[in-house]
Amino acid sequence: MSKDPRPVTDADLHAYVDGELDEQRRLLVEAHLAKHPGAAEQVRGYRQLNQDLHSLFDPVLNESVPAALVPAVRAAPARYRWSRRLQAAALAGVALLSGLTGWLLHDRQDRTEASATLVNLVQPAAFAHLVYATDTQYPVEIQAEQQDALNRWLSDRMHTRIRAPGLDELGFELVGGRLLPSTNRMAAQFMYQNAAGERITLYVRRVATAEQHSAFHYREAEGVGVFYWIDGPMGYALSGDLGKQRLVAVAQAVQRSFAGGV
């Protein structure tokens, strides 16, 4: 086996669990695991997460549409159909928390990014977007008409002042928001919609990272693009299927809003 000078990273461990390493890299990772019990324990944890998430979300693909929702499903545009929602939610759920390589394959040179940010911020944000942005009946818990109450409620539950940024100048009106669990913390999700019926969601939560400020980063999976960044103790992830150029313009407006103390 020729020597590979690259150090073993968390991304290598994820790829090892998913069987994506070539023979040389696989052997190097296995040698690393034999010498580092902590890394071996990580691998066992990743495998267990994969198994648990498959057990949790795979059955969703076989669920039938509830009878009460059949008329709404038939009337909804094709891209909001219940079957699409279930399939997307199941796929996103499998990716949630496990750092699966579907996210990492989009841009292999970024494999050295901190996996914690992907696991705790990016993947839950995309998962929540897939579930709620396609919901034609209950996309939010609190409607935009009660925005002040929404802001107070989320601020109280997250123990930090938070407000839904205004995106009217970009053609997106606030639909409302909700509180969500996010691995070991709570997260806020704000939903917006434009005149064409396109929806975007902003996911906000506290993050534990040494990186106090970051530039925009972009990920894409299952048709959902996510721009995310860190500002102090807070992480932000904007999700939607607008395309990269349009989505980044909205992300910049959101960043300005929070930087300005919205």
Tell me if 118 is assigned to some domain.
no
Indicate whether 243 belongs to any domain.
yes
Residue 230: give its domain's CATH number: 3.30.200.100
Q: Domains in the chain: how many in total?
A: 2
Residues 31 and 77 in one domain: yes
The tens digit of pLDDT for each residue in 203-227 reads 999 887 656 667 788 988 667 899 9
Confidence of residue 199 (pLDDT cuts 50, 70, 90): very high
Question: Are residues 145 and 252 part of one domain?
Answer: yes
- For residues 151 and 230, membership in a common domain is answered with yes
Q: Is residue 52 part of a domain?
A: yes
The arithmetic mean of pLDDT across residues 29-56, rounded, is: 78
Residues 152 and 46 in one domain: no
Note whether residue 175 is domain-resident.
Answer: yes
Query: How far is 172 from 200, CA to CA, in rounded Å?
Result: 8
Asked, for residue 115, whether it belongs to a domain, the answer is no
Predicted confidence (pLDDT) per residue in 169-187, tens digit: 999 999 999 999 887 789 9
Residues 203, 244 within the same domain: yes
Q: What is the pLDDT of residues 74-83, one digit of tens each?
A: 555 554 444 4
Q: Are residues 75 and 165 in the same domain?
A: no
Residues 152 and 193 placed together within one structural domain of the fold: yes
For the cut 90, the answer to whether the pLDDT of residue 202 exceeds it is: yes
pLDDT level of residue 109 (50, 70, 90 thresholds): very low
Domain residues for 85?
10-101
Residue 90 is assigned to a structural domain of this protein: yes
Q: Give the pLDDT mean for 84-109.
A: 44
Q: With respect to residue 151, please indicate whether it lies within any of the assigned structural domains.
A: yes
- Whether the predicted pLDDT of 10 surpasses 70: yes
What is the model's pLDDT at position 223?
72
Whether residue 253 is contained in a domain is answered as yes
Residues 136 and 247 in one domain: yes
Residue 196 confidence (pLDDT) above 90? yes
Same domain, 255 and 148: yes
Residue range 124-159, pLDDT digits in tens: 999 999 999 988 888 999 999 999 999 999 999 888
pTM: 0.57
Residues 94 and 35 placed together within one structural domain of the fold: yes
- SS3 string, the chain, reads CCCCCCCCCHHHHHHHHCCCCCHHHHHHHHHHHHHCHHHHHHHHHHHHHHHHHHHHHHHHHHCCCCHHHHHHHHHCCHHHCHHHHHHHHHHHHHHCCCCCHHHHHHHHHHCCCCHHHHHHHHHHHHHHHHHHCCCCCCCCCEEHHHHHHHHHHHHHHHCCCCCCCCCHHHCCEEEEEEEEEECCEEEEEEEEECCCCCEEEEEEEECCCCCCECCCEEEEECCEEEEEEEECCEEEEEEECCCHHHHHHHHHHHHHHHHCCC
Q: Is the pLDDT of residue 64 over 70?
A: no
95 shares its domain with 142: no
Which of 48, 69, 101 lies at the terminal end of a domain, its last residue? 101
131 shares a domain with 173: yes
